[in-house]
Structure 1
């Protein structure tokens, strides 16, 4: 098992590809520049089996339609954001990309709760981690000791909460009661910027001090 970080789209959102020795993969948050992602997949002879979305803000979904159609694969999203893919107002693209709002077909699978998810030969622990958005999900892959957390937790920072559906206290609760409960050696594959670790953020993230 291995994984690759590929920044994509107008905000260089981190897309991640988790793949196995059979060159099968799941894709997290293809935010744009579908041609870049498809080129990398082709070059490395990797065939994706599904798209998993940590949430549905515009910068995380820009290449969903292209990748889904190219590989004929299913899309998974939290049920609280099921209509964000079809609504440029809710995914924010109408405001941030008024000349090219993002609108795609609904997701094939709606997720909820904390549970185990089996897709494309991969098993991931799925955790609801709202706060940045109401349907934010973090996907933990035990075998590679990595959590794909979207915009919940960053290196030295946390996700913004000033967008519709965001809540600062809810975000802090998600981080402390869910992400920081993972093993300290867990790699945090963030939605933007460099990867980090649970241990590093516990030790030095200034936004997590004084939480109660």
Structure 2
């Protein structure tokens, strides 16, 4: 990658990859999916001398969005994404916390800007294309930097696996369609970060991920 850098902060009991994307030269960046542990996120931002321009959400599950409203308030920045089909999830984050029996600070949240397929978002000198990729969650979006050959896929595709589809709003075939139509066409050489576990390359997953056989 050029000037684009990514740092991962595992947050919440789900060990979700809260990701800080930033420009190495300008130190401007965004926080992707602040699911919780906001103090830890802020400490990382401060220690690295970063200026956060916005919060980007891939989807509305608690481990990705549970800390977004608090972080927005403390950084005084806007929340961008996901697609508006995740409004019910984001409006029910406190209910999700109770459902999972989580003892963590969670607030329902409404983003400042919804995203749709074909939008672009940017910070510093980096521009990302937005693709609506439902299946794991109805309003899930992914972020793709064509210039850097890098994508943030949230919980759509993992190294060796795919997002679960047994949560409210999930649908297995819809997820496979999203991977086939939105992720694989990005190109085999594209490296990605995902919502849990290590990242990978799209080509490696196309060749070896058992869930992608036949796509």
**Superposition TM-score tier, normalisation by shorter sequence:** over 0.9
Query: How far did 1:148 drift?
Result: 0.7
Q: Tell me which residue corresponds to 1:5.
A: 8
Work out whether 1:87 is the aligned partner of 2:92.
yes
Equivalent positions of 1:51-200 (< 5 A) are: 51-77=55-81, 78-88=83-93, 92-97=96-101, 99-100=103-104, 102-119=106-123, 122-200=126-204
Q: Distance in 1 between matches of 2:94 and 2:68?
A: 17
**Aligned Cα RMSD in Å?**
1.8
Query: How far did 1:184 drift?
Result: 1.3
**What runs of 5+ residues in structure 1 fail to find an aligned partner?**
none
SS of the equivalent of 1:170 reads: helix
**What runs of 5+ residues in structure 2 fail to find an aligned partner?**
none
TM-score, length-scaled by structure 1: 0.92
Task: Tell whether the 8 Å contact from 1:50 to 1:120 is kept in structure 2 after alignment.
Answer: no
Q: Tell me which residue corresponds to 1:42.
A: 46
Q: Tell me which residue corresponds to 2:37.
A: 33
Q: 1:174-199: CA deviations, max 9, x gaps?
A: 00111011121111211000001101
Task: Tell whether the 8 Å contact from 1:2 to 1:144 is kept in structure 2 after alignment.
Answer: no
TM-score, length-scaled by structure 2: 0.91
Q: Distance in 1 between matches of 2:147 and 2:19?
A: 16
